[in-house]
Amino acid sequence: MFWAGFAVGRRTSLIPLFGDEDSVRGGVTSRQILECLQENLPTIAEPGYFFVQDNASTHRARIVQSWLTGWPRDHGIYLVAWPPYSPDLNPIENLWKLLKEQIIKLHPKLSCMPKSNYAIQKLCEAADEAWELFEDSLLEKLAFSMQLLSALMAGMRNTKVTQMKYDA
């Protein structure tokens, strides 16, 4: 699993998240997601920006939501309440799809490799390569689409949408 964030004109590194051996199932935990957010969100978010994450259970966990109710508010970041089961509307989900396609295009043999530490290392290298190849214009287009969708969703809840803040 990977984590990344982007905004107009900026992006985080692509961060591989490995399972937590101490967790019950050995998968990525909410503690790992929280650490990732705390380390990386301040590097790309500014007052007036929107923040969206997917609805994975590790992202909705109490420890993560608790931090997300404080830090973004204190820094003027708007949290977008994303509808469940709507990954097609989430810009990062669209970016993950493009990332997978780019990895397969650049390194087709990866899909045939047996799962091993070597294969995971090669996947991480390929993902980094593919992530860096994304042009800023693509990320900008996706960021603007999120802003528009956020306004539309707000309009569905409240027909009086008077202003949409955005720093470009």
Could you give the CA distance from residue 24 to residue 27 in angstroms, rounded to a whole number?
8
The pLDDT of residue 29 is above 90: yes
Give the predicted TM-score (pTM) of the model: 0.79
Q: Which residue did the predictor score with more confidence, 115 or 150?
A: 115
Read off the pLDDT band of 152 (50, 70, 90): low
Is the Cβ–Cβ distance between 166 and 48 less than 8 Å?
Answer: yes
Nearest alpha-carbon partner for 76 in 54, 53, 45, 52: 45
Q: 114: pLDDT confidence band, cut at 50, 70 and 90? A: very high
pLDDT, tens only, 33-75: 999 999 999 998 889 888 888 778 898 899 999 999 899 999 9
**pLDDT per position as a tens digit, 118-146:** 999 999 999 999 999 999 999 888 887 76
- pLDDT mean over 1-11: 87
Q: What angle do CA 102, 128, 97 make, to 5 degrees?
A: 35
Reported as a single tens digit per residue, the pLDDT across 80-104 is 777 766 767 778 888 999 999 999 9
pLDDT at 158: 46
